[in-house]
Amino acid sequence: MLPLQAQKDPGTGKWRFSLDEDSILLQSKDGFSPETEVIYVGSLKVEIEANEQEEVAQRLLDDFNCVPTFLPLDIQKKFYYGFCKQQLWPLFHYMLPMCTDHGDRFDRQLWQAYVSANKVFADKVMEIANPEDDFIWIHDYHLMVLPTFLRKRYNRVKLGFFLHSPFPSSEIYRTLPVRDEILKGLLNSDLIGFHTFDYARHFLSCCGRMLGLDYESKRGHIGLDYFGRTVYIKILPVGIHMGRLESVLNLPSTCNKVKEIQEQFKGKKVILGVDDMDIFKGISLKLLAFEQLLEQQRELQGKLVLVQIVNPARSSGKDVQEAKKETYFTAKRINEAYGSADYEPVILIDRPAPRDEKTAYYAIAECCIVNAVRDGMNLVPYKYIVCRQGSYSMDQAMGIKPDCPRTSMLVVSEFIGCSPSLSGAIRVNPWTLMLLLRP
């Protein structure tokens, strides 16, 4: 996806675009020198009519250095909602398609659509890339065979690939019927990056077991020899932009929002969750743990609030709808059982929350829970830590002295990529409900 937000003006019917400040792709640009020109190639989150595509493409190139790729609707549906979200996404998060309720069985037509979509992206990259001078950086599991098309056209092109999701163990990955094709596609890159060493280790294990390839580790560099080329494997965990987050923390709108939240939850402690609406993010497990806590420790009723910010779902499959339904059902049950006229135990914010609002909740919450059952990295814990440290403006808004100690609790799942780096956090098995919210 391009690092853009799109909205159609209801009055003029024209599209309005702006940079998505939360986009990982946009933040990744900060690692380059100011002189480096970055051109983004990708799809939009909205559907653009055929008669508008040429005009929109030119505007995006001129204004944002973005080159949109428009896929035919049938290909888009089979590629993204079919193969990516129903085949790869569950498998890479350790869910095998044992029945139709947990990922569809393999469909060769969906795989063909995936390959076709990658070819369309390759054609678009070839239109603008200079293979002698440019570096091409490919992102995530949607485009794992794209390196093959580019390598066939430009043998000496410099290709990098980064996987934002987990890479499963070889015992899981080997169940994929097109396992070899995807591994070979990735190996047409010059460098393959992963969030954690575990993900890289799983990938190397798959290359060894399924392709018979051995790797060498010299002076901290891991390399695979593939058809006369050395493919380097690197662990490159994504982080957050401290300066950008701190600037949002000091915005007047953020400080005003903090005062509003403080007044809303006066006399109560706030537990915060910020998750995508996804079957792997563990929102329902979090709610069940909170429900059990209120049941077993009745003195906390009326004093504890769980604010769950739900980011917009990235897909619209049956699994997402079921996860959303379960979330709302559980939240309603908790509020009916333990709430009152002036007390609502669970607050669901199911809408695109502005950055200043999210930042305000990070700053005000005394506990943050990130209990995904499987996640590639997850940057929510880092954001929470930075925001809880506060700033001069934020301390004034909250009415606390800068040198006043504050207590915070960060609960993270042991199955998310950032967990090993958080030595001060409470690591839990998300399936063990009461360990999530132990007193």
Give CATH 3.40.50.2000 domain extents, the chain: 71-235, 242-436
Other beta carbons within 10 angstroms of residue 126's beta carbon come to: 15
Give the CATH fold of the 242-436 domain. Answer: Rossmann fold (3.40.50)
| Both structure tokens of 73 | 């609707």
Quote the CA–CA distance of 41 and 136 in Å, as a whole number.
Answer: 10
Q: 318-338 vs 283-296: helix axis angle to the nearest 10?
A: 20
Partners of 15 in beta bridges: 8
CA angle 434, 438, 439 (to 5 degrees): 145
| Both structure tokens of 191 | 């460098």
Q: Are 368 and 411 in contact (CB under 8 A)?
A: yes
pLDDT in tens, the chain (439 residues): 899 999 998 888 899 999 988 888 888 888 888 899 999 999 998 999 999 999 999 999 999 999 999 999 999 999 999 999 999 999 999 998 765 554 557 899 999 999 999 999 999 999 999 999 999 999 999 999 999 999 999 999 999 999 999 999 999 999 999 999 999 999 999 999 999 999 999 999 999 999 999 999 988 899 999 999 999 999 999 999 888 899 999 999 999 999 999 999 999 999 999 999 999 999 999 999 999 999 999 999 999 999 999 998 777 778 889 999 999 999 999 999 999 999 999 999 999 899 999 999 999 999 999 999 999 999 999 999 999 998 889 989 998 887 777 789 999 999 999 999 999 999 999 988 666 555 5
Residues contacting 146, CB < 8 A, separation 6+: 118, 121, 122, 125, 138, 185
Radius of gyration of the chain (CA): 23
Q: Could you tell me which CATH number the domain at 71-235 has? A: 3.40.50.2000
Quote the CA–CA distance of 430 and 370 in Å, as a whole number.
Answer: 9
